[in-house]
Structure 1
Amino acid sequence: MSESRETIYIGKKPLMAYVTSSLIQLANQPKISIKARGLSIGRAVDVAQIIARKTENAGYSIGNIKIGSEQLQSQDGRSRNVSTIEIEVKRNS
């Protein structure tokens, strides 16, 4: 894939901070990727939905969605699986 893709990682900031950041990136890029894992997955879905619904007239839509899991070491040394999601938001041509 030759075109560059900007990634927004979802964490604990307020929801609208991610929406604003995503819209700024979409002004410069044809598509972005919103990534989250664990408890932040719900927030990532909310960000993508807000962009797609509130800016429908501006021509943004949700593209591919990938789900998976990563294996992480917890602080006590045990490995555990954490769910992940990647949501593509793109500008319609």
Structure 2
Amino acid sequence: MSTPQQETTILVGKKPTTSYVIATVMSFNAGAKKVILKARGGAIARAVSTAVMIRDRFLPNQVRIADIKLLTDKVTGQGGKERSVAAIEIVLERV
């Protein structure tokens, strides 16, 4: 029997919010103590919605938002131009 991971990272992208909610709940049910939601650009709103839905509806009084980091990632766009993209990391932790 393998030991469960203490920390899981979920990259939030273009899928529906419910996909990320299910993945997060499954991670906590598998024994994770901490889940990190990471998103860039337009997916930031989806990551925030996921965190709030987990905290308020799916695992109330079991999970808290431990930390939020706002970042800027440098990405190379079309034509080789480097540009800045907003990013977020939301750390959810079992209470």
TM-score normalized with structure 2 length: 0.89
Q: Is residue 60 of structure 1 aligned with residue 51 of structure 2?
A: no
Deviation digits for residues 3-53 of structure 1, max 9, x if unmatched?
742100001111101000000001220111000001100000000000000
Equivalent in 10, 20, 28 of residue 22 of structure 2: 20
- Residue 77 of structure 1: CA displacement? 1.1
Post-superposition, which runs of at least 4 consecutive aligned residues in structure 1 deviate over 3 A? none
Alignment partners' CA distance in 2, 1:21 and 1:35? 13
How do 1:1-93 and structure 2 match up within 5 A?
4-27=6-29, 28-54=31-57, 55-57=59-61, 59-92=62-95
SS state at 1:23 partner: helix
- Distance (whole Å) between structure 1 residues aligned to residue 78 and residue 24 of structure 2: 32
State the identity as a percent: 35
| Unaligned segments of structure 1, at least 5 residues | none
What CA RMSD, in Å, does the superposition of the two structures yield over aligned residues?
Answer: 1.2
Once the two structures are TM-superposed, the CA of residue 75 in structure 1 deviates from its matched residue by 1.6
